[in-house]
Amino acid sequence: MLGPMSSRRIGRYTLGARLYDVLSGERPVYRVGRSAAIGRLGLRPGDRVLDLGCGTGLNFAPVLAAIGPTGRLTGLDASGSMLARARARTTAAGWDQVRLVEGDATDLDTLVGEATYDAVVATYTLSIMRDWQSVWVHALRRLRPGGRVAVVDLSLPGGLGLVWWPAARLACWTGGADPYRKPWRLAQDQLVDVITTTHRAGHVVAVTGTRPGPA
Ligand SMILES: C[S@@+](CC[C@H](N)C(=O)[O-])C[C@H]1O[C@@H](n2cnc3c(N)ncnc32)[C@H](O)[C@@H]1O
C-alpha cells in the first residue's frame, strides 16, 4: 500500500509516463550514468537481472545486449503507466526474456518470491522511493553472493558545476527526487570492488560494486 507522499511521487510518473523518454533529459544528461554503470557490471550471457523501479525500460537494451537470449530481466515498478511504456518497448523489440512486475519495491519479497539475481540495477529511483533503505536491504538479499549492483542517482553539482545547480534542482524537483539522499552511499559502504564515477558536473553519480561472499 502506497502512502500519500509516495502516491504523489508515483502519480507524477502516471501522468508523465507518455513524455518521460522525451522530456527526461535522457540523451543529454542521464544516459551517460546508466551506460557507465551497466557497462561496469560485467554482465554475462544467461545472467538474471532485477531492474528496480525500471520505469519505461531505458535500461533494458543495454542489459539485454549483455545477457543475451538466455538471460532473464525482471523490471519492477509501482507505476502501471510507466510499465505500460516498458511493455510497449519490450513487445516492439521482441524481448521475451523480460518479465514486468507492477508493485511497490518495499514488497519485493512478495512480488518476486524466492527468485535470486546475478545483478540488481537501480537507476534514478532510490532517491524517489519511500523506505528506500528497506528496499535496499531486501534487494541485496535477492542478490547471490558475488552478484553485482549498479546504483545511479542524482545529486546537486558543486565546484565549477555550480552554474548548473538551478537546472539540476529543478530536474530533481520535477522527478520527485531527493538530491540530498545520496542512496549510492549504501552501495559504497556495503559492497566490495566499488567503483564510483560522477558525470554532468556531479549531477549524476554512478556506483557499481559486488555483494561480498563466494561467487
Ligand atoms: C525517474 S524514474 C526512473 C526510471 C528508470 N529506472 C530509469 O532509469 O529511467 C523513477 C521510477 O521509480 C518508480 N518508483 C518510485 N517509487 C517506487 C516504489 N516504491 N516501488 C517501485 N517503483 C517505484 C517510479 O514509478 C518511476 O518509474
What are the extents of the domains in the chain?
A: 4-210
Is the shortest distance between the CB of 210 and ligand 1 below 6 Å? Answer: no
How far does the centroid of ligand 1 lie from the alpha carbon of residue 178, in Å? 13
Is the shortest distance between the CB of 125 and ligand 1 below 6 Å? Answer: yes
This prediction's pTM: 0.91
How far does the centroid of ligand 1 lie from the alpha carbon of residue 77, in Å? 6
How far does the centroid of ligand 1 lie from the alpha carbon of residue 27, in Å? 18
Mean predicted lDDT score pLDDT of the chain:
90
3.40.50.150, 3.40.50.20, 1.10.3720.10, 3.50.50.60: CATH of 4-210 = 3.40.50.150
> Which atom of ligand 1 is nearest to 51's Cα?
6
How far does the centroid of ligand 1 lie from the alpha carbon of residue 51, in Å? 10
d(CA 19, CA 148): 31
Burial class (CB in 10 A: 0-12, 13-18, 19+), 132: buried
How far does the centroid of ligand 1 lie from the alpha carbon of residue 129, in Å? 7
Can you say how many angstroms the Cα of residue 99 is from the centroid of all Cα atoms in its chain? 16
Q: What is the pLDDT of residue 3?
A: 53
Can you say how many angstroms the Cα of residue 75 is from the centroid of all Cα atoms in its chain? 10
Does 50 score more than 90 pLDDT?
yes
How far does the centroid of ligand 1 lie from the alpha carbon of residue 54, in Å? 6
> Which atom of ligand 1 is nearest to 105's Cα?
20
pLDDT digits (tens, 9 = 90+) for 18-37: 776 766 777 888 899 999 99
Confidence of residue 15 (pLDDT cuts 50, 70, 90): low
- All residues at 6 or more sequence positions from 214 whose CB lies less than 8 Å from its CB, including other chains: 145, 146
Confidence of residue 1 (pLDDT cuts 50, 70, 90): very low
Does 4 score more than 70 pLDDT?
no
pLDDT digits (tens, 9 = 90+) for 102-144: 999 999 999 998 899 999 999 999 999 999 999 999 999 999 9
Is the shortest distance between the CB of 47 and ligand 1 below 6 Å? Answer: no
Q: Which of 29, 77, 85, 104 to mutate to test the pocket of ligand 1 (most atoms within 8 A of CB)?
A: 77
What are the cell numbers at 94? 521482441
Is the shortest distance between the CB of 55 and ligand 1 below 6 Å? Answer: yes
pLDDT digits (tens, 9 = 90+) for 149-206: 999 999 888 777 777 777 777 877 788 889 999 999 999 999 999 999 999 888 899 9
How far does the centroid of ligand 1 lie from the alpha carbon of residue 214, in Å? 31
Q: What is the pLDDT of residue 193?
A: 97
Does 7 score more than 80 pLDDT?
no
Is the shortest distance between the CB of 97 and ligand 1 below 6 Å? Answer: no
Which letter, b or e, does each residue of 50-78 get, where b requires 16 or more Cβ atoms within 10 Å of its Cβ?
Answer: bbbbbbbbbbbebbbebbeeebbbbbbbb
Is the shortest distance between the CB of 13 and ligand 1 below 6 Å? Answer: yes
